[in-house]
Structure 1
């Protein structure tokens, strides 16, 4: 099967590409800048240049494609807004897929998107889900809670660098998943007919609060975290203020997502039916404890090697002796 991965250079997208290639699929990647995606080509994927926000570029990228796995989303640093990419761009892509006769469309949304109509990213995801259903494509919608990979810059690195870990006053428990595991669900959906025309949550083995994650990072690193608690009122003020400026509007939409993180409603879901449908077992998935333990083990080993090399270099140096 020839598949097109959209959002292939992102945290989740690259895992989808790698796993699909391992499973023997012919993988094409829709990219705006091929020079920034050469690593995907080195893995064995084919790069096709196109842009969701330029619908005229899409028909060529869909030639010969039987399935699309859509993991694209606007990044906080993008010049394009969430609306540009996650709504306008997805409408363009879905319409192009229908016209091209694409057989399967796998879409990654966000869990509980329908519960937060005032949060731009969540509302756009909800609207995209509905648009996809109305388009009468053979879809599967997958709704992850959160990525474990995002916890590294948020918690692990600041703790290792003795920098402040910023958290809000309250914390919503989130059942994070490794993006590699999420990618497995995306690719498996192509193989299981029972996933067609259905929506599935994707959640880790348990939901974690920010304080619980910080405690775990402290245990694994042997360091104490410097915690700075940010009042939710300040976040809301910053979000409203930033919307007045075009170049900060995307960041503002992301800040609005903070409302979700302090809602007090756990981001979690019962996965029994999901595992049964996809043919996976809970033990096949990476737990947060295992993920962070492996990360800190690699980092601490690397730090020890660096310190050893520094000490070794110092011992090799001889004091300067003046010639008489």
Structure 2
């Protein structure tokens, strides 16, 4: 790792972005960071004195030359996929337009490398709204002259909070028979994978955690840690559920993608050390809504 290089971390105050920033700071990298909130700025103050605050999807003038003097851009910019979190902006605006604006600035300033955290399923034949925004940006990145690595995590442990929230409310739904397999990863472990490829790496990596489980096995671990009753929902019933009234604007888009990823094998290269069971044992149930 060349720690003399200057790195821009975008989406730096999110769950993954903050872990990337912490780890890179510990490794001695010089960092510029981008956040969109006052709270994010406070979180980042201990790790960088070069903090930019802007909404990269809309406030293009405020990110002008944010990549000047930068060797590598690391983008963890992305919308929440939680069914319980209404997003202020669309997946298109955050996952695509924000990153496109950063890429255009990077091209203008001759940035050498761009590391982008995408999502498993971005290459799906069906244009799921959640995944399609990532797909569109991946296409922009491939068409650019910048060296790049796209990481597609199969899912974060923290992204399974929805099931933990439901378990706290005494139900753990599984779409289908629960036989689909995945190896989700802890966001701290994923941050270390991201940093590994700051200087060089393959164009595409699908990243997973250390252990592969079926969705049913993961539900049983949630049940053991939190409680709740496991309920299997036939896919046809889940499809009918997509016709329910919207709780917020992107609810159906998230539900559609949730069904997709939980009924198919979502397995990536195995990285990290933290297991799902260990993650659940350290989860503060009082922090769950």
Using the size of structure 2 for normalisation, the TM-score is: 0.83
Asked if 2 retains the 8 angstrom alpha-carbon contact of 1:34 and 1:47, the reply is no
In the TM superposition, residue 187 of structure 1 has moved relative to its aligned partner by: 1.0
Q: Which runs of 5+ in 1 are unaligned?
A: 272-281, 301-324
Alignment partner for residue 71 of structure 2, among 50, 55, 66? 66
In the TM superposition, residue 180 of structure 1 has moved relative to its aligned partner by: 0.9
Partner of 1:306: none
In the TM superposition, residue 176 of structure 1 has moved relative to its aligned partner by: 0.6
For residues 23 and 202 of structure 1, the distance between their equivalents in structure 2, rounded to whole angstroms, comes to 22
Higher helix share: 1
Partner of 2:174: 167
In the TM superposition, residue 148 of structure 1 has moved relative to its aligned partner by: 1.3
For residues 269 and 195 of structure 2, the distance between their equivalents in structure 1, rounded to whole angstroms, comes to 21
Partner of 1:266: 265
For residues 218 and 115 of structure 1, the distance between their equivalents in structure 2, rounded to whole angstroms, comes to 31
For residues 238 and 287 of structure 1, the distance between their equivalents in structure 2, rounded to whole angstroms, comes to 32
Asked if 1 retains the 8 angstrom alpha-carbon contact of 2:32 and 2:48, the reply is no
For residues 43 and 92 of structure 1, the distance between their equivalents in structure 2, rounded to whole angstroms, comes to 24
Q: What secondary structure sits across from 1:139 in the alignment?
A: strand
Query: Judging changes above 3 Å, is the alpha-carbon distance between structure 1 residues 180 and 241 closer, same or farther for their aligned structure 2 residues?
Result: same
In the TM superposition, residue 37 of structure 1 has moved relative to its aligned partner by: 3.1
Greater Cα radius of gyration, structure 1 or 2:
1
In the TM superposition, residue 224 of structure 1 has moved relative to its aligned partner by: 4.3
Q: What secondary structure sits across from 2:212 in the alignment?
A: coil
Query: Judging changes above 3 Å, is the alpha-carbon distance between structure 1 residues 224 and 121 closer, same or farther for their aligned structure 2 residues?
Result: closer
Asked if 1 retains the 8 angstrom alpha-carbon contact of 2:86 and 2:249, the reply is no
Partner of 1:147: 156
Query: Judging changes above 3 Å, is the alpha-carbon distance between structure 1 residues 299 and 81 closer, same or farther for their aligned structure 2 residues?
Result: closer
Partner of 2:53: 49
Asked if 1 retains the 8 angstrom alpha-carbon contact of 2:172 and 2:223, the reply is no
| Count of residue pairs the alignment pairs up | 277
Partner of 1:5: 9
Q: Does 1:19 align with 2:23?
A: yes
Asked if 2 retains the 8 angstrom alpha-carbon contact of 1:147 and 1:177, the reply is yes
In the TM superposition, residue 133 of structure 1 has moved relative to its aligned partner by: 0.9
Asked if 2 retains the 8 angstrom alpha-carbon contact of 1:207 and 1:267, the reply is no
For residues 110 and 188 of structure 2, the distance between their equivalents in structure 1, rounded to whole angstroms, comes to 29
Q: What secondary structure sits across from 1:180 in the alignment?
A: helix
Trace 1:172-321 onto structure 2 (pairs within 5 A).
Answer: 172-191=180-199, 193=200, 195=201, 198-219=203-224, 221=225, 224-233=227-236, 235-239=238-242, 248-263=248-263, 265-271=264-270, 285-293=273-281, 295=282
Using the size of structure 1 for normalisation, the TM-score is: 0.75
Asked if 1 retains the 8 angstrom alpha-carbon contact of 2:41 and 2:53, the reply is no
Partner of 1:277: none
For residues 68 and 155 of structure 2, the distance between their equivalents in structure 1, rounded to whole angstroms, comes to 33
Higher RCO, 1 vs 2 (CA within 8 Å, ≥6 residues apart)? 2
For residues 285 and 86 of structure 2, the distance between their equivalents in structure 1, rounded to whole angstroms, comes to 27
Residues 132-184 of structure 1, C-alpha deviation per residue, up to 9 Å, x if partnerless? 010111111111101012234522x554x463223323433221111111111
In the TM superposition, residue 113 of structure 1 has moved relative to its aligned partner by: 1.9
For residues 269 and 165 of structure 1, the distance between their equivalents in structure 2, rounded to whole angstroms, comes to 25
Q: Does 1:99 align with 2:120?
A: no
Residues 19-67 of structure 1, C-alpha deviation per residue, up to 9 Å, x if partnerless? 1111111222211223443022134453211222122222242232221
In the TM superposition, residue 126 of structure 1 has moved relative to its aligned partner by: 1.9
Asked if 1 retains the 8 angstrom alpha-carbon contact of 2:223 and 2:229, the reply is no
Asked if 1 retains the 8 angstrom alpha-carbon contact of 2:153 and 2:268, the reply is no
